[in-house]
A and B are shown apart, each in its own frame.
Chain A
Amino acid sequence: MDLDFTDAELHRYSRHILLAEVGAVGQARLRAARVLVVGAGGLGSPLALYLAAAGVGTIGLVDHDALELSNLQRQVAHTTARLGRNKAESAAETIAALNPEVRVETHALRMDAAAAEALIPRYDIVCDGTDNFPTRFLLGDACHLLARPLVSAAVLRFEGQLSVFQSHLGAPHPCHRCLHPEMPPEGLVPSCSEAGVLGAVTGVMGTLQATEVLKLLLGIGTPLAGRLLLWDALDARFRTVTLRRDPACPLCGEAATIRDLSAHRAAPAPACAAA
């Protein structure tokens, strides 16, 4: 691994390098890492900004949406002056201003099965910050099948959930379908644009997501794998519960029926915008 740092890098990352768990070796690991952030919205904004500030060398940003005024209550990687611009491109601009040492690969496209197959193998870790179930299930299935860890957060109203899925490593690791075997039928679970979300809740969850990514890259601590973190902001209560691999799981179970992404190809494109 390349352990040569410029004086500017040593200065920029000095508070990391001071940490025994990070040090120069850990910082070099971060610089060599490639992380894919899907959704440059409420979760993706703090997530991408903290990964960039931390010196994650290459960050892929996927978002097909144009920035809307209603996004700015929580999506802090964007600015009012950039309304109408593509959100992946807008976030890339903010990252470049924050830390020009990191490279951003902007993917201004809708994450579909073909994009998942093309992009996911090019990154070490995938982060789900999307706003709709079809894309969440696509990412969950694709990460299992393409053998990449998935750091997945979700928010609604005053609630957040977070977990790390690495079922491709085999038992005992659960996958996303061990928690929710199927997508909820349309209309059964509201989206943020229907039910609302407190902006700061997305900030906390996206930042926790960034923390789990950095832990995985550095190989420190205990990843939130096989566990689900639940946060109720109104109650100011965090809980972490165990999530086990389900032997009957359709994706990672003993008689798994999902072998490829064909079901996602047949599915209609998600209609839900990040409004």
Chain B
Amino acid sequence: MGPTIRITVNGEAREIRAAATLADLLAEIGLDPRKIAVERNLEIVPRSRYAATALAAGDELEIVHFIGGG
């Protein structure tokens, strides 16, 4: 494993390789993108941008679960 960066996911610190994208992170965690949204530094990342979104050191990410109850 090459150089890593430190990010926060759901409030917990996590190391990930420096060139990782948001899509890589979701695959690593094992999250199905069809049932979540992802918030990065207080902003929702469009699903169409996951593979193009490079993570940066210090990024704070929150997984927002897709819910539909009423």
Contact = CB atoms under 8 A, between A and B. Distances in A.
Interface of A: 39, 41-44, 128-133, 136, 153-156, 159, 161, 178-182, 184-185, 188-189, 191-192, 195, 197, 202, 228, 230, 239, 241-244, 246, 248-249, 274
A165 B39 CA distance: 18
B70 interface: yes
A244 B39 CA distance: 11
Nearest to A246: B46
**Lowest 5 CB-CB distances: which A-B pairs, in order?**
A192-B69, A246-B46, A248-B48, A156-B67, A131-B70
Given A130-B70, A202-B69, A228-B64, 19 more contacts: A39-B70, A42-B70, A128-B70, A132-B68, A153-B70, A155-B67, A156-B67, A178-B46, A179-B37, A188-B32, A188-B34, A189-B67, A230-B64, A239-B42, A242-B44, A243-B44, A244-B46, A246-B47, A248-B46
B46 A180 contact: no
Given A180-B37, A188-B32, A188-B35, A43 B46 contact: no
A153 to B, nearest CB: 8
Contact of B68 (A178, A191, A228, A248): A191
B67 A241 contact: no
B69 A181 contact: no
B43 A241 contact: yes
B69 A156 contact: yes
Contacts of B67: 154-156, 159, 161, 189
Give the interface centre of B39, B42, B47 by most chain A CB atoms within 10 Å. Answer: B47
Interface string B33-70: 01101010011101111000000000000101111111
Contact of B42 (A44, A132, A242): A242
Give the interface centre of B37, B44, B46, B70 by most chain A CB atoms within 10 Å. Answer: B70
A41 B69 CA distance: 10
A191 B64 CA distance: 16
Interface of B: 32, 34-35, 37, 39, 42-44, 46-49, 62, 64-70
Nearest to A131: B70
Given A159-B67, A184-B35, A241 B42 contact: yes
B26 to A, nearest CB: 15
A66 to B, nearest CB: 16
24 contacts: A41-B70, A42-B70, A136-B68, A153-B70, A155-B67, A159-B65, A161-B67, A179-B37, A179-B44, A180-B47, A181-B47, A184-B35, A185-B34, A189-B66, A189-B67, A189-B68, A228-B37, A228-B44, A228-B64, A241-B39, A242-B42, A246-B46, A249-B46, A274-B70
B42 A192 contact: no
A70 B34 CA distance: 30
Contact of A131 (B42, B44, B47, B69): B69
A39 B47 CA distance: 28
B36 to A, nearest CB: 9
Contacts of B47: 180-181, 246
Contacts of B62: 239, 241
A202 B62 CA distance: 23
Contacts of B68: 130-133, 136, 154, 156, 189, 191
